[in-house]
Structure 1
Amino acid sequence: MDFRLTSEQSMMRDSVRRMVDADIEPVLQASDRTQALGKEQLLHIFRKLADFGLMAPRLPEAAGGGGFSMLDYGIMFEQIPPSVSMSLVSQDGCITRLFAECDEAQRARFLPGLIAGELIGCTGSTEPGTGSDPRGITTKVTRDGDMLVLNGAKMWVTNISVCDLVIVTCLDRTEDPAGQNIVKVVVERSRSPFEAREIDAIGLQQGLLGEAVFDNCRVPMENMIRSRSGGTQVLKSSWAVNRPLLGLQAVHLAQRAFDAALDYARTRTQFGKPIGARQLVQKSLSDIETAIRTSRLLCYDALATIDAGGPADGTSAMAKRYAQMACTEAVWQAMNVLGAMGLSREARLEEYYRDIRMIPIPDGTNEILSLIHGRELTGLEAIRA
């Protein structure tokens, strides 16, 4: 068992970090930090990420993807600011689901532009009245001649306000008016316009979180996905990867907060010496780094378990839940090290704290994740009867 990164993994990590410093941070810094990025700004960033194969990290190289192990992907993903990496998760998830479920003709139509970072995609599954229960959706698709007609609403969808296409999970009413089969429909914005707006939230304010309404939205028949795996299986399997990735977003934010707190502790003096020489400050710094390291290792372990083909639902749920909780406390402790400066916008720790509060909700709340983990431990179902 070796916990050290290989030389290749270290090189990938450092290359992505340099790219972030050179090509992503300047875009974020030049923009209003309280407003969502524009579509052209996101496309500029996506094209840079595409150069590293990060638009489609889960696809094999023969299909145009990065062909990465999920552990290698996570190591690189951790370097990307969460306001951007949340959009990357949405794009990557959309591409992965299209590749897994579409036929060859649909793949040829939808995937090249997404993989190249020239188009923006997302997936709409959550609804105003349906969160953690994907079987409770009410959005439906019916048939009108050679067209599909989509009606319903989706919420908490990253990239929806600027997307070129969205995969919409819905009830199939094309043959049976009372049908309960779940299908997916690809809605291309240029061909099938719909209403969408951004949601103003506490954190990740440069991100692109939004909602959409499909009101008799007419979609070509060839855009229905006849999934080989059926139902929500592909969606659920993608969540297993997403959860430790979101945990690594928390690690990214806690690491930034720790770096700021450590620098402050070394330079800020009180009563004749740096505050870093005080016992309680050293304890806080020790607690912060311990939270970061344990969170990172749990997330890496979950991704390595997926790579090895092991049961990963519980491990992934545990990784995200623990990392988010531990790193939230770590950011809070870092703010305390800075004292009054920790409350200032200038120091940015208050921004990291607001950002990290966004992470518990996507791809499973802490409460749902504890039940997923518990189900894997006991073999007993606590969510459904």
Structure 2
Amino acid sequence: MSVFRSTIPDVAAEEPMVQLLDADGTRTPHEQLDAVLDEHGLASPERLRGYYRDMVMIRAADLEATSLQRQGQLGLWASALGQEAAQIGAGHAAREQDYLVPTYREHGVAWARGIEPWRLLEMFRGVSHGGWDPNELRTHPYMIVLGSQAPQAVGYAMGLQRDGLVGTGDLSTDTSVLALFGDGASSEGEVSESLTFAASFQAPIVFYTQNNQWAISVPTEVQTRVPLAQRSRGWGIPSARVDGNDVLAVLGTVRTALDAAREGEGPRFVEAVTYRMAAHTTSDDASRYRPKAEEQEWAEKDPILRLRRHLEQLDQIDEDFVARCDEEAHDLAMQLHHHIHGMEDPDPVHMFDHPYAEPHPIVAREREEYLEYAAQFDDDEEEQA
């Protein structure tokens, strides 16, 4: 049976969910996805240990970022605690030439694409205007406004069609786009408009929503009466629902979707069912709306523990490896701590340096106006002295 479906079942609850690893780590065979994973050794023991390390590392960075925000070093932090498999799996599913368009919580995806965590923290500190070169790393800067990145992602995908980079059969050049957003953003009008354009032009894009159960304090069942995976089918876009705490299921499903889009088969939609273990952001108090029993239920589905159990069943992991990963993660957290604490605030005038590639008269005028404004405070300090 194909992973992706184009029809809506009579009963919404019948929507199947792709899962390769049970909560206890047991592997369930899946003919289609096993073939995809085996094609390039994506499920080899070495790769599995790499995914485990990735998730441990990014969780440590995530926890340290939360601590730094509590210390007043970051203005805000949006934790991805509990969503590591949904992100590491999706990040590694993309091929090198694919273009990823994230929202503001894709720390694991960023890690998989080679973006150092300190670049993310600098942005949340308010001293970076993006943090990396999107052309070099094939990953768009973080987008804060919900759903705003979806039309841009579709536009980029349509541009790939016009550049002749879709459906040529050359896996080294054919390209697709992965647009990432949360369950709350899926209710935004921009996402609906993006589905319209993607379907109409058969754009090479995969819409990937991490359903972490809560859009701040609004549960998913209030946002939609059917599984999110069924929404795209009204546009004629095939979709799949996958266990977002199962790194292998995510990896295989998203790779299948991206390959289809890259080969010219049009857009796909993937719903990864996962859970946000932390609050929406550090300005939120999840205890005011989320039951403790629910949190405990999902804690038992921890994606890192699930993969570790699977590796233990394969006899491909030992305590020494686990300890090395934990030690590396601690070192990373300490590096982030010292890096952020040692940062100096940049001169605000630098905000006018790079809005355009070439000098622009409006920006130049605004820069002069800012300098005149800032000079007033220098005069006040001199008078007080």
TM-score above 0.5: no
Question: Per residue, is there more strand in 1 or in 2?
Answer: 1
TM-score category of the 2 structures, normalised to the smaller one: under 0.3
Q: TM-score, normalised by structure 2?
A: 0.23
